């Protein structure tokens, strides 16, 4: 008969974890997915509702020439106080190793450079997508409402981001590009995606977080482009094992938009020309060209980075 091996009763090599070494959500049996959703609700209330009400009470409903400086200050401080700080606090409930949880290791320079090529080419493709999205025929009543909302979103954004000098441009880049890149990446690619990865699978966590990232900006006209960018940033973080890759890529994407407005480029501007004067054939060729560039950048990014083992991804930050 085949000999049965009895489990060892020797506990010498079995580590015994104290309560302080077990994350709060595990000690209380809280699902990582539920924790991520609750965290999003908390941050949404803090930033969008409480922060929004405070800004409106102090500076009014929308930025103007007279209050734009204060409005920018409020935007930057709101990101720090109501997004970044709560995220760092909530992460302490999700893991006892916050550095590993956030993937704070330094990335490789080639990996960052390739990711910047990827986001630039992806942004050009998404701009062309938006051109065709606007051409979708809608009932006149719906079209009128959509146009009004779109004009309102664009007016607020342009007022906040438009600049007239290099010093003002640098100041806006800090407010619109640098601070959001850190605060939003720590929230979405850090707290939320990491929790979803543990509750689902790494790739499903990336996709779910990207979709939430698109919806969280509360701009229905840009939901698909924002979701695609969110999924791309999430993949960069998961694959490289470093959140700094998505932080730098996010910053580059936002800073480039600020620079484009400073240079008086239109929102639907693409590298090969103004969309209003480009033929359908030119737009299709431009989309195809940058699609090829994006695929090449992804190929090299996959080649440069090493896949993170699932066991390491889901378990190591709780040790």
Task: Note the pLDDT of residue 5.
Answer: 44
Contact criterion met (CB below 8 Å) for 39 and 192: yes
Predicted confidence (pLDDT) per residue in 78-104, tens digit: 999 999 999 999 999 999 999 999 999
- Cα 112 to Cα 245, 256, 312: the distances in Å are 6, 16, 22
Contact criterion met (CB below 8 Å) for 211 and 227: yes
Task: Note the pLDDT of residue 270.
Answer: 60
- Cα 33 to Cα 8, 28, 91, 204, 296: the distances in Å are 35, 14, 13, 12, 34
Longest CA span, the chain: 89
Question: Could you please report the per-residue DSSP string of 30-85?
Answer: --HHHHHHHHHHHHHIIIIIIIHHHHHHHH-SS--TTTHHHHHHHHHHHHIIIIIH
Which is more confidently placed, 243 or 154? 243
Lowest mean pLDDT among 39-43, 200-204, 314-318: 314-318
Predicted confidence (pLDDT) per residue in 128-184, tens digit: 998 888 877 777 877 777 777 777 777 777 778 888 899 999 999 999 999 999 999
Per-residue pLDDT band for 251 (boundaries 50, 70, 90) equals very high
Question: Residue 309: pLDDT above 80?
Answer: no
Task: Note the pLDDT of residue 264.
Answer: 76
Lowest mean pLDDT among 8-22, 179-193, 205-219: 8-22
Question: Could you please report the per-residue DSSP string of 176-210?
Answer: IIIHHHHHHHIIIIIIIHHHHHHHS-HHHHHHHHH
What is the overall mean pLDDT for the chain?
A: 85
For 118, the token pair is: 């990827």
Which is more confidently placed, 313 or 300? 300
Distant-in-sequence, close-in-space partners of 248: CB < 8 Å, separation ≥ 6? 107, 112, 115, 116, 181
Lowest mean pLDDT among 39-48, 200-209, 305-314: 305-314
Task: Note the pLDDT of residue 267.
Answer: 52
Q: Any idea what the Cα angle at residue 117 is, between residues 87 and 153, rounded to 5°?
A: 55
Task: Note the pLDDT of residue 315.
Answer: 45
Which is more confidently placed, 62 or 182? 182
Question: Residue 203: pLDDT above 90?
Answer: yes
Which is more confidently placed, 58 or 215? 215
């Amino acid at each position: 008969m085949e000999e049965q091996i009895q489990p060892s009763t020797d506990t010498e090599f079995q580590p015994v974890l104290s309560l302080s070494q077990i994350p709060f959500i595990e000690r209380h049996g809280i699902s990582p997915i539920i924790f991520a959703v609750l965290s999003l609700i908390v941050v949404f209330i803090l930033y969008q509702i409480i922060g929004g009400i405070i800004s409106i009470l102090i500076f009014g409903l929308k930025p103007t020439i007279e209050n734009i400086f204060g409005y920018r200050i409020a935007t930057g401080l709101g990101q720090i106080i109501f997004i970044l700080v709560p995220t760092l606090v909530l992460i302490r409930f999700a893991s006892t190793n916050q550095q590993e949880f956030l993937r704070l290791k330094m990335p490789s320079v080639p990996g960052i450079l390739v990711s910047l090529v990827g986001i630039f080419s992806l942004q050009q493709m998404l701009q062309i997508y938006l051109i065709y999205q606007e051409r979708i025929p809608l009932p006149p009543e719906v079209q009128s409402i959509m146009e009004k909302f779109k004009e309102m979103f664009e007016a607020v954004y342009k007022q906040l981001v438009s600049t007239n000098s290099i010093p003002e441009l640098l100041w806006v880049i800090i407010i619109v590009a640098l601070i959001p890149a850190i605060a939003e990446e720590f929230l979405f690619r850090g707290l939320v995606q990491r929790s979803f990865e543990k509750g689902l699978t790494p790739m499903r966590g990336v996709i779910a977080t990207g979709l939430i990232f698109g919806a969280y900006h509360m701009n229905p006209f840009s939901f698909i482009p924002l979701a695609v960018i969110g999924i791309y940033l999430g993949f960069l973080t998961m694959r490289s094992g470093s959140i700094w890759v998505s932080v730098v890529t996010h910053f580059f994407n936002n800073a480039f938009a600020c620079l484009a407005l400073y240079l008086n480029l239109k929102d639907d501007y693409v590298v090969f020309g103004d969309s209003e004067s480009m033929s359908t054939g030119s737009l299709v060729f431009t989309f195809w060209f940058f699609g090829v560039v994006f695929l090449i950048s992804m190929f090299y990014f996959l080649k440069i980075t090493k896949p993170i083992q699932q066991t390491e991804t889901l378990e190591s930050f709780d040790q």
